[in-house]
Chain A
Amino acid sequence: MKAAPFEHHEPTSVDEAVSLLESLDGPTVLSGGQSLVPMLRFRLANPDVVVDINGIEELGYLREEDGFLKLGALARHADVEGSELIAEKYGSFADAAPLVADPQIRNRGTVVGSVAQADPKGDWGSLLIAHDGEVVARGPDGERVIPADEFFLLPYDTALDEDELITEVRVPTPSDREGSAYHKLKRKTGDYAMAGVGVRLRFDDDGVIEAAGIGMTAVDITNARASDAEDHLEGERPTPDLFEAAGESAAEESHPESDEHGDAAYKERMVKVLTQRALGDAAERAGVVKQRRVSR
C-alpha cells in the first residue's frame, strides 16, 4: 500500500470518537478497513484525517437485547459467521455471512462498515431492508435511529452526517413463526454479488403470511426493497406459484445494469430465481412447509 499521507487518530470510546469527528476537518472513519484501505492504496480516497475506531472495545458486540438483534460497529463478518445465536435464529444472516468476500476479509471487515460503505453490491443492506432493520448513529447532538429504508441514498452515499458515527445496526428479533434466508450468486469467492436476495417471512398460526420483507443486492443503485413482491405475499399461503409471482414481481422492481457481472436481463432473471429460492427456504425455516424437487 502506498497511501497518501494522512493523520491517524485512535479514540478508545464512542464519546471521544464523536468529538474527534466533530472537531476534525473532513474525517474518514476506519473500522475493518476492507473497503477503505484498498481505496487508500489506489489513492481513490485521500482523506487528511482517519479516525480509527478499532480501539473502542465496547463496540464489538453481537447480542439480543430489547427485542432486537444488535450488532456493534466492530462486530466482524466472522463474528456473525461463528455465532450460535445467528445459526439458531437468523437464517438470512447465517446464509449471508459465509458468502461475504473471503475468510481474510470476513475476519477483519465489519458488518457496520459494510453498511456505511453503502456499496449496492454489499450484502448486509439487503438484510437490514428485509428485516425492517435500523441504523443507530451517534453525533454531537446525541443518538439517532435511521430506518434502513431511509439510510441508503445513492451508491456509497447514506443519510449519515459527516460528524456522525454508526455505533450499531439492529433488526427485530423474530417471532416463532418466522423464517429468513439470503441467496446470492457470485462468480467466485471474494467476488461481489452478481445478484442477491434476502427475505423474511412471518406467518400467522394458520400458516398465512403475515409480513414479508425482501431486500435485493447488486440490482439497483442501492440495496433495494421489492415492495410489490412483498404485497403479493402478504395475506397468502405459501405455494411455489405464489413465490414465482413474487419472484417475477421482484425482478420487475429491480433495475440492474449490464456490467462484468452479467447483462441486465440475466440479473433480472436471477432476481426471480433467487427470490423463489430464498422464499422457499424462509417458509421452510418458519416451519410452515417442506420443499421438495420433483425432478433430479
Chain B
Amino acid sequence: MSSETDDIPEAETEYQHDEDGGPDPEKHCGHGRGGMGEGVKRKEDKRFITGRGNYVDDIKKPGMLHCEIVRSPHAHARINEIDTSRAMEVDGVVAVLTAEDLAAHELATMPTLMDDTQDVLVNDKVKFQSQEVAAVIAEDRYVAKDGAEKVAVDYEVLDPVVTAEDALEADAPLIRDELDDQEDNHIFDWDVGDKEATDKVFEAADVTVSEQMEYQRLHPAPIETCGCVTDWDPGKDKITVHLTSQAPHAHRTLFSQVSGIPEHKVRIVSPDIGGGFGNKVPIYPGYVVAAAASVVLERPVKWMEERSENIQTTGFARDYDMTGELAATEDGIIKGVRTDVLANHGAYNAVAQPSKFPAGFFNIFTGSYDVEAAYGSLTAAFTNTAPGGVAYRCSFRVTEAVYLIERMVKVLAQELDMDPAEIRRRNFIQPEQFPYESATGWNYDSGDYEKALDKALEMADYDHYREEQRRRIENDADKLIGIGISSFTEVVGAGPGKSCDIAGIEMFDSADIRVNPTGNAVLRVGVQTQGQGHETTFAQIVAEELGMDVENITVEHGDTDTDPYGLGTYGSRSTPVAGAATAVAARKVRDKAKSIAANELEAAEEDIEWDRGSGEFHVAGAPDRSLTITEIAASAYMNHPGSEEPGLEAVNYYDPPEMTYPFGSYIVVVEVDRETGEVDFERFVAVDDCGNRINPMVIEGQIHGGLAQGIGTAMMEHVTYDENGNCTGGDFMNYLLPTANEIPNFETGYTVTPSPHHPIGAKGVGESPTVGSPPAIVNAVVDAMAHAGTTHVEMPMTPDRVWENLAEAGLERDPAETVVFDPVGGDEGEPADD
C-alpha cells in the first residue's frame, strides 16, 4: 500500500468562498486539532474493532417475535391457494400472514420509489423467483423457519420472461397483467440530447466506431443484509422501527404514508449499518410485514434477511445492454456520442433514484470530454426477475455512463491507432472551460483532467509498460501485457432540490450543532453513515470551522426523533450536502461566538476577529485580548449578552446550488495468461480529485474499498438467471465477491481542484473508484489483445471468457509451444534461445 504524500500546493488548500482565507499552509491543514486535511483515526472504529457495534440484528427486545418469509420457488406463477393451517400447528408459531391479512390493513401493496405498486405479499401472481408470498411470525427464528416450511402454496406455473430483449418480443407473456393500461412488458422510452445535430455530426465524421456492451446485473451485497425490528407501542400509538436504512428520515415519511400512522408517531432508528452501497435505499416488503405484524400482535417483531434472500430479492444494480457510438476526426477529436440502451428493471419499476430523469444521471455519458453533439435513447422493460436498479456505490446510473464513454474512447483509439492517453488529452474539457455545460445539459463545476491523467501516467511508469507490451508481442510471449486507462468524471451530491427529490421532498440536507457549556459539542446530521466515517470527518469540519479539538465533538445521526431531517447517504451526497450544512451551521455558531466574545472583551462585534490558526477570537490589533471557543461556550450559558439568546447552537438546512463533479484517472496494467485466460494485476494506479480533502486516510480507505468492488465488477460479479427465471447467482458460492487475495496493491494519488460552490470546496469521493475502475480494467484486458484485433471483452472477465476472446483473436497458447526441458545438472542438449 502506498500513497502520494506530496504537499498540496498552497493555492489549492484555500477554501473557496471563505473570507478567512482557508487554513494556514505552513501548518498543512487542521492545525493539529483534527481539522481539515488531517488523517485523524476514525472515531467509530473503536466500537467496531472491539466488537461493540450495535447492528439491527443485535437488537433484542422483551417479548420479541421473529418473522420468516415464505418465498416463491417459481419466477412466474399464479397462486391458486395458500394453506397456512399446518404452519399454525407448529409449536411456537404465533401468526401466519398472507396478502389477505395485509389487505385488511391496506398494506397488501406498497409504492416503489418510481411510483409503481409492488406486492408486499403476493395475492394473485408471483412475478419473480423468491418473491414474498406469506410470512410466519414465531417465538424464535428457528421455529419461524420450521413454520414457513409448512405453508402449502398451490402454484400454477406460467412461462417466464428473463431478459429485457425477450420481454419486448411481441408474443412475450404479459408480466404485469394486473395493471389496467399495461399491454406489454414495456415500461418507458426516454431520450436525451439533440438527435438531429448528433446524426449530422455522425454523417459528416471522418471516422465512426460502434461497440455493443453489457453492464451485467450486479448486487451491492453489503456484509449486513437488510432487516428491521419493529415495535408498536399501543400506549403511545407510536411505532419504533430499527431499520437497516441509508435514509431514515425519508423512510419515516414513506412509512407514514404507506401505513397511515402519523409521521410524528413513527420513529426510525438506523443503528450501526454494515454497509449499504445503495441496497438499503429502497423499502422492502419484509419491513412492511414486520411493522404490520407488530401492530397486530402488539409485540416487537424482528425480520432479518438471510444472505440468499438479500441477493435474490433486494435491489440489484446495473443490467444495461448498451450500444455506444463515437464520431471523430482523423486526429481523434471526438465530435459526437450516441448511445442506445435496453434496461432490465425486473418485475416492478423500483429503480431507486431521485432525479427527474427516468434513467437517472446516465445522460452524463459524454464524460470528461468536450463533445459537440450527443444523443442517448433508452428503453426499459419488465422481466420476471427481482426488481431493482439501485445506485450501487454510485450516483444513479453514472457508472453505466462512465463505462460506456471510457470503453468507447479506447475503441476509438484502437480504430485510429492512437495512444489512448493521447486521445483523451486531445478531447478533455479544459480547466478554463469550467463551469462547463455539456451537450446533454450538465453543468460541471470544476476540473483539471489532464493534470490527473499526467500524474497517473507518471506514477504508473506508462512508457515503460508500453515498451514491455511491445517486447512481449514481438517475442510472442506466453503472457501479454495490457494497459488500461479511465479518465472519468463523476456527478455527485444530489440535489439541488429543484431537480432531485424523494417522494416530492427536495434533496437538501441538514446539520444541527450544539456547543455545551463546557466547550464540547454535539453535531447531529440528517445523513446516515454505513461505513463512510461521518462520525470522524464531519467532526473535523466542525473542528476546523470553530477551532475546537476534534476529540470534543460527537456526531450523531440515524434517529428520526432527535436528528434534523435529511435525505440520507448515497450517491456520494453526504459531504457535498450535509458536509456543506455542517460548515454553514458551524459558521453560524462562529458568528454568534463573535458576538459573545465582543461582550466579554468589551469590544465592538465588528472588531472581533477569528484566527483560524489558533482557533481563538480576539480583538482586532490586540491578539492577547482573546478567547477560546471553550471560554465563549461558558459565557453563552453563564453570561450571555443581552443582544443574544442564551446558548450556543445553530441549524442549517442546505440545498446545494449544483452537483459536484469529482474526477480522476486510473491506470491498470494487467498480465494475461494465454494458456488459461487468467488475468493478473501488475499495477493499479488511482489518482483522484475530490476537491479539498477532509481526511486523507478516510479518503484512501474509500478508494481502496471502491477499487476492490470495481475489480469484483470487472472480473467476477454477476447475478445470473437460467431460462426458467431461477436465480443461479443468488448466494456467495455463485455470486463471487473478490477477497484480499484477488486484490492487488493499490497506488493512490491525488490532485486538488476545489468545488467553487461548496462551502469548504469539497466534492464527494466514496464512489469514484467503483465508477471509474471497471472501464480501466476492461480496457487493460482488451489492450492486451488489441494487436490481434480484439475491441471488447464482456464483464465479468472470468478466465473462460478471456480465454475465448484469446482464442477468437488467435492468441491462445499451449504449454508445449514454449516449454523446454533441460536435463538436470547435465550439459547435453542445446540451450534454447531466451
Contacts and interface: CB of A to CB of B under 8 A. Distances in A.
Contacts of A188: 715-716, 736-739, 741-742
Given A190-B739, A294-B832, A243 B818 contact: no
Interface string A154-181: 0000000000000000000000000000
Nearest to A244: B816
Interface in A237-265: 238-241, 243-244, 247, 260-263
A262 B736 contact: no
Contact of A294 (B676, B733, B742, B818): B818
A5 B804 CA distance: 47
Interface stretch (B540-548, B644-652, B819-827): B819-827
Given A189-B741, A240-B821, A260 B728 contact: yes
Contact of A244 (B715, B734, B815): B815
B804 A266 contact: yes
A295 B832 CA distance: 10
B736 to A, nearest CB: 5
A43 B800 CA distance: 32
Contacts of B816: 240-241, 243-244, 247, 276
B150 to A, nearest CB: 11
A190 B734 CA distance: 11
Given A185-B676, A262-B798, A273-B675, A293 B142 contact: no
B678 interface: yes
B463 interface: no
B141 A2 contact: yes
Interface stretch (A56-64, A212-220, A227-235, A280-288): A280-288
A290 B824 CA distance: 6
Nearest to A266: B800
A155 to B, nearest CB: 15
Interface in A1-53: 2-5, 42-43
A185 to B, nearest CB: 6
B814 A191 contact: no
A273 B678 CA distance: 13
Contacts of A276: 814-816, 819
A194 B815 contact: no
A289 interface: yes
Contact of A189 (B715, B739, B822): B739
Given A4-B146, A290-B822, A296 B800 contact: no
Given A273-B675, A292-B832, A185 B799 contact: yes
Contacts of A3: 142
A263 B478 contact: no
A4 B149 CA distance: 10
Contacts of A269: 803, 812
Contact of B145 (A2, A277, A290, A291): A2
Interface residues of B, number: 51
B824 A289 contact: yes
A200 interface: no
Interface string B449-492: 00000000000000000000000100111110000000000000
Given A240-B819, A273-B676, A294-B820, A5 B478 contact: no
B720 A296 contact: no
A270 interface: yes
Given A244-B815, A260-B728, A270-B676, A187 B820 contact: no
A294 B818 CA distance: 5
Given A266-B803, A287-B824, A296-B479, A191 B736 contact: yes
B821 A238 contact: yes
A50 to B, nearest CB: 15
Contact of B678 (A185, A243, A277, A293): A185
Given A2-B142, A191-B736, A296-B479, A272 B814 contact: yes
B834 interface: yes
Contacts of B833: 294
Nearest to B821: A289
A102 interface: yes
Contacts of B824: 287-290
Of A273, A276, A290, most buried by chain B (CB within 10 Å of CB) is A273
B823 A289 contact: yes
A280 B141 CA distance: 54
Of A247, A287, A292, A295, most buried by chain B (CB within 10 Å of CB) is A295
Contact of A283 (B675, B715, B799, B821): B821
Contacts of A102: 739
Contact of B716 (A2, A42, A187): A187
19 contacts: A2-B142, A43-B149, A187-B736, A187-B798, A189-B741, A190-B739, A192-B733, A239-B821, A240-B816, A260-B728, A266-B677, A272-B814, A276-B815, A283-B821, A290-B822, A292-B820, A294-B820, A296-B477, A296-B834
Interface of B: 68, 141-142, 144-146, 149, 306, 308, 472, 475-479, 675-678, 715-716, 720, 728-729, 733-734, 736-739, 741-742, 798-800, 803-804, 812, 814-816, 818-824, 832-834
Given A262-B799, A269-B812, A294-B818, 11 more contacts: A2-B142, A4-B146, A190-B739, A262-B800, A273-B814, A276-B819, A280-B815, A292-B819, A295-B477, A296-B475, A296-B479
